[in-house]
A and B are shown apart, each in its own frame.
Chain A
């Protein structure tokens, strides 16, 4: 399945935070690829480093924290980590765009929606003022907003959560980016709106051929909408698989735990929803073996002593585990 033309490729990507002479590594060597036009899910519990990773793809963290990176972020063959501020600005909002978890706080409260969309166009295109205005209305229409002209003159607080997120997406899509990073875009919304936004994102992916990196903690959403997904645990990816398989046939013990802890709507109601035992270890802990070993029901002596490598198991699937649990065999 190796395709040389990945849109975005992470090579042994690490993010370190520095605070008072202490280094904390939050993203611990991630390798992944996003193909053009693909929706890639990134799943994990809160605190697993998925948000940090997604924000560092455009290097948005370095302003508010003391961070350093290792590895490569290759976008269209160019390394984002080695770009100067000018090159970086050309990518941001133009080639890669991003939407965040809570649209209410992600939109600037003192500017109108129209102004905030237009601003991106002004930065990255040579459209005239009139062309920009009509592009704004076009974008809002694309977001299935019924009265684009009225909404473009409104302030964020005058809109509902769903409308705000649509406006955020309109900002993100203004310059037709090749990749959209969506960091839990539906978490702050109610269930109905959530479904609408997901549908919209899928539609945009199909119509515009824009790749999406979809960050979520919800395996269900991955099942419904992602072509492929990566599971992240403690700053590392532990399993990668097609979106549906991840839910239906999880291989890694951690993914199994995640899938099992989702209540099923069909079938017999279980006595008690299974939970993954234990707590997520601190990022600072230096683990000699598998990061999940402590909480893993299948862990053996080996798991505590050796860091498992990534094994390819079947078509488009890989896990970072010593064993193939289902077969009951060691992968070495």
Chain B
């Protein structure tokens, strides 16, 4: 209890950062008189100034508005991936923890999937499915689900042995009732924490994919592809690297702080396995 005030600070900072990003994504485009796709070769590589707050790119497009639209993509993809992989993860994790025969099957599949380095798996999936926002969401969900499923499962295995779950068994609760009504709420805090990390890592992965040209493709705006375009002109147009980089770092930082803070805050209520002291 003593530490509660202290633990809230990262959550406040994290959610403030996230709020700013959401505001930027929602209202940023309205603040700029420019069109994200309109090229203006006369204004190529103009540095940040009053006209173009964050300068222009190699086609003379306004960076500010392209970053704002990019923020929409990043946040949308991050959120969808976090949401979908949490959903899949809780179903897989809970059922794996509950039924022994499913456990082996599902966990081996998860082991296999997580043995493949995430970005490579995502690249392979994107290469097969072709670039689109939907496909990015699918690919990154495939990448992040196994991890979440495993965390849900290990939490659920502990919960399953709690006396109150056994009590429901004795009372004759059906399996699905026990799984969804009694076990899933106890898993929720851990899931939320993990989801915020998945959110952050999805944003990062999308940027990496787009940076590599396997994600959102031009002329659609994405932080990753703007960063990519900066690499050719690194000495001339620092703003092309700085602003998308800053946004990326801020969003990952915000979500990590949120996740870390939430974990510190909720750890107390989570049933944890005792670490073997001796």
Q: Beta-carbon contacts of B235-278 to A below 8 Å, as 1s and 0s? A: 00000000000000000000000000000000000000000011
Q: Beta-carbon contacts of A163-206 to B below 8 Å, as 1s and 0s? A: 00000000000000000000000000000000000000000000
A104 proximal to B (CB < 8 A): yes
Set of chain A residues within 8 Å of B278, measured between Cβ atoms: 102, 104-105
Set of chain B residues within 8 Å of A102, measured between Cβ atoms: 278
Separation of A105 and B278 alpha carbons in the complex (Å): 6
What is the total number of residues of chain B having a CB less than 8 Å from a CB of chain A? Answer: 2
- Look across to chain B and name the residue whose beta carbon is closest to the beta carbon of A20: B2
A20 to chain B, nearest CB (A): 10
A184 to chain B, nearest CB (A): 16
Q: Beta-carbon contacts of A77-113 to B below 8 Å, as 1s and 0s? A: 0000000000000000000000000101100000000
Separation of A102 and B278 alpha carbons in the complex (Å): 10
Set of chain B residues within 8 Å of A104, measured between Cβ atoms: 278
A96 to chain B, nearest CB (A): 26
- Look across to chain B and name the residue whose beta carbon is closest to the beta carbon of A109: B278
Separation of A104 and B276 alpha carbons in the complex (Å): 13
A168 to chain B, nearest CB (A): 15
- Look across to chain B and name the residue whose beta carbon is closest to the beta carbon of A105: B278
B18 to chain A, nearest CB (A): 32
Separation of A104 and B278 alpha carbons in the complex (Å): 7
- In chain A, positions 218-239 with a C-beta closer than 8 Å to chain B are none
A225 to chain B, nearest CB (A): 27
- Look across to chain A and name the residue whose beta carbon is closest to the beta carbon of B2: A20
A201 to chain B, nearest CB (A): 23
A3 to chain B, nearest CB (A): 42
Set of chain B residues within 8 Å of A105, measured between Cβ atoms: 277-278
Q: Beta-carbon contacts of A95-134 to B below 8 Å, as 1s and 0s? A: 0000000101100000000000000000000000000000
Separation of A105 and B277 alpha carbons in the complex (Å): 8
- Look across to chain A and name the residue whose beta carbon is closest to the beta carbon of B277: A105
Set of chain A residues within 8 Å of B277, measured between Cβ atoms: 105
Separation of A47 and B271 alpha carbons in the complex (Å): 29
Q: Beta-carbon contacts of A284-311 to B below 8 Å, as 1s and 0s? A: 0000000000000000000000000000
Separation of A104 and B277 alpha carbons in the complex (Å): 10
B76 to chain A, nearest CB (A): 45
B103 to chain A, nearest CB (A): 30
Task: Name A residues whose Cβ lies closer than 8 Å to a Cβ of B.
Answer: 102, 104-105
What are the 3 closest A-B residue pairs judged by CB atoms, nearest first? Answer: A104-B278, A105-B278, A102-B278
**4 A–B contacts from the bound complex (CB under 8 Å):** A102-B278, A104-B278, A105-B277, A105-B278
